[in-house]
Amino acid sequence: MADVIILMGSKSDEEKVSPCVDVLKSLGVSYTITVSSAHRTPERTEQIVRDGEAAGAKVFVCAAGMAAHLAGAVAARTILPVIGIPVSSVALGGMDALFSTVQMPPGFPVATVALDKAGARNAAWLAAQILAVSDAGLRARLEAARAAMREDVEKAGAEISARYA
């Protein structure tokens, strides 16, 4: 059973979404990843949601560009948390995907993160935080990861200060 199900609207989104997988792996969070389109394969998308819920999934992460309806299509079919990663395209530089992902009707929220790789990383962090509400071990791993980030910043600050002293 995977706690997080990651859906990409297209295989071409893989490079931009893969950092989500990297973060989930580093935190020991179980996941599955696949391709499904809100428009080209709506039945497949619905089946993935249905099967994921039945198997005990707890969070869906959806990445799509252009019209970017995938996260909304998933949110319409589940009450589980849905995180949307807008994927940039050539035509509008991702603004189309960002607006499509973030503008959801009341009652069908999608937690929207930044575009592309930065958003993919934060989607994983947010999914892990959602799961950590009921998983003390994951919470401890998140706290340790944040402590390491703080230490990295403090070390960099000391190095820069020393260089210019």
Q: Tell me, what's the pLDDT at 29?
A: 98
Q: What are the tens digits of pLDDT across the range 59-71?
A: 999 999 998 999 9
Residues 72 and 108 in one domain: yes
Q: Tell me, what's the pLDDT at 91?
A: 79
**Whole-structure pTM value:** 0.95
Residues 108 and 159 in one domain: no
Q: Tell me, what's the pLDDT at 132?
A: 98
Residues 162 and 96 in one domain: no
Note down the domain range covering 11: 4-134
The CA–CA distances, whole Å, from 24 to 6, 30, 51, 67, 83 equal 11, 7, 21, 26, 14
Local structure of residue 77 (DSSP, 8 states): T
Enumerate residue ranges in the chain where pLDDT < 50.
none
Q: Tell me, what's the pLDDT at 20?
A: 98
Q: Tell me, what's the pLDDT at 1?
A: 84
Contacts for 117 with CB less than 8 Å, ≥ 6 apart:
16, 19
Residues 157 and 122 in one domain: no
pLDDT more than 70, % of the chain: 100
Q: How many CA atoms lie within 13 A of 16 on its CB side?
A: 24
Residues 26 and 38 in one domain: yes
Residues 157 and 92 in one domain: no
| Structural domains of the chain, count | 2
Residues 128 and 141 in one domain: no
Residues 110 and 158 in one domain: no
Q: Tell me, what's the pLDDT at 90?
A: 78
Query: What's the CA gap between 46 and 43, in Å, rounded?
Result: 5
Cβ-contact 27, 82 below 8 angstroms: no
Residues 34 and 67 in one domain: yes
Q: Tell me, what's the pLDDT at 89?
A: 85
Q: What is the CATH number of the domain that holds 77?
A: 3.40.50.1970
Residues 115 and 156 in one domain: no
